[in-house]
Amino acid sequence: MTSRTSDPPADKPHIDACRRCELWRDATQGVPGEGPRRARVMVVGEQPGDKEDLQGAPFVGPAGHLLDEALRRAGLARESVFMTNAVKHFKFEMRGKRRLHKTPGQREVEACSYWLEREIHDVNPEIIVVLGATAAKAVLGEKRVTLASLMDQAVEHDGRIVIATYHPSFVLRQRDDTSREAAFERIVKSLRQAVRAAARHTG
Ligand code: URA
User: To the nearest whole number, what is the mean pLDDT of the chain?
Assistant: 94
Closest atom of ligand 1 to CA, residue 63: 8
Helix/strand/coil (H/E/C) assignment for every residue in the chain: CCCECCCCCCCCCCHHHCCCCCHHHCCCCCCCCECECCCCEEEEECCCCHHHHHHCCCCCCHHHHHHHHHHHHHCCCHHHEEEEECCCCCCEEEECCEEEECCCCHHHHHHHHHHHHHHHHHHCCCEEEEEHHHHHHHHHCCCCCCHHHHCCCEEEECCEEEEEECCHHHHHHCCCHHHHHHHHHHHHHHHHHHHHHHHHHHC
Q: pLDDT (tens digit, 9 = 90+) per residue, 31-84?
A: 999 999 999 999 999 999 999 999 999 999 999 999 999 999 999 999 999 999
Domain with 163 in it: 23-202
User: Does any domain span residue 181?
Assistant: yes
Residue type, 176: D
Distance, CA 104 to ligand 1 centroid (Å)? Answer: 12
Ligand 1 contacts (CB < 6 A) are: 45-49, 52, 58-59, 61, 63-64, 85, 169
Tell me, yes or no, whether 17 lies in a domain.
no
In angstroms, what is the span from residue 66 Cα to ligand 1's centroid? 11
Residue-wise pLDDT for 165-195, tens only, equals: 999 999 999 999 999 999 999 999 999 999 9
Calculate mean pLDDT across residues 1-13.
52
Residue 90 CA, ligand 1 centroid: distance in Å: 9
What is the atom index within ligand 1 of the atom nearest the CA of 167? Answer: 3
In the reported structure, the alpha carbon of residue 62 is separated from the centroid of ligand 1 by a whole-number distance in angstroms of 9
State which ligand 1 atom lies nearest to the alpha carbon of 51: 7
* pLDDT in the model for residue 201: 78
First and final C-alpha spacing in the chain: 26
Residue 8 lies in a domain: no
Residue 7 covered by a domain:
no
- pLDDT of 13 above 80: no
Q: Which atom in ligand 1 lies closest to the alpha carbon of residue 45?
A: 3
Q: Is residue 128 part of a domain?
A: yes
Q: What is the CATH number of the domain that holds 52?
A: 3.40.470.10
In angstroms, what is the span from residue 130 Cα to ligand 1's centroid? 11
Query: Is the residue at 5 inside a domain?
Result: no
Q: Does residue 203 have a pLDDT over 70?
A: no
- Domain count of the chain? 1
Structure confidence at residue 152 (pLDDT): 84
Residue 65 within any structural domain of the chain:
yes
The answer to whether the Cα torsion of 39, 64, 161, 86 is positive or negative is: negative
Pocket perturbation via mutation, ligand 1, pick of 43, 67, 85 by most ligand atoms within 8 A of CB: 85
Ligand 1 mean position to 47 CA, how many Å?
5
Neighbours of 100 (CB within 10 A): 10
Position 76 in a domain: yes
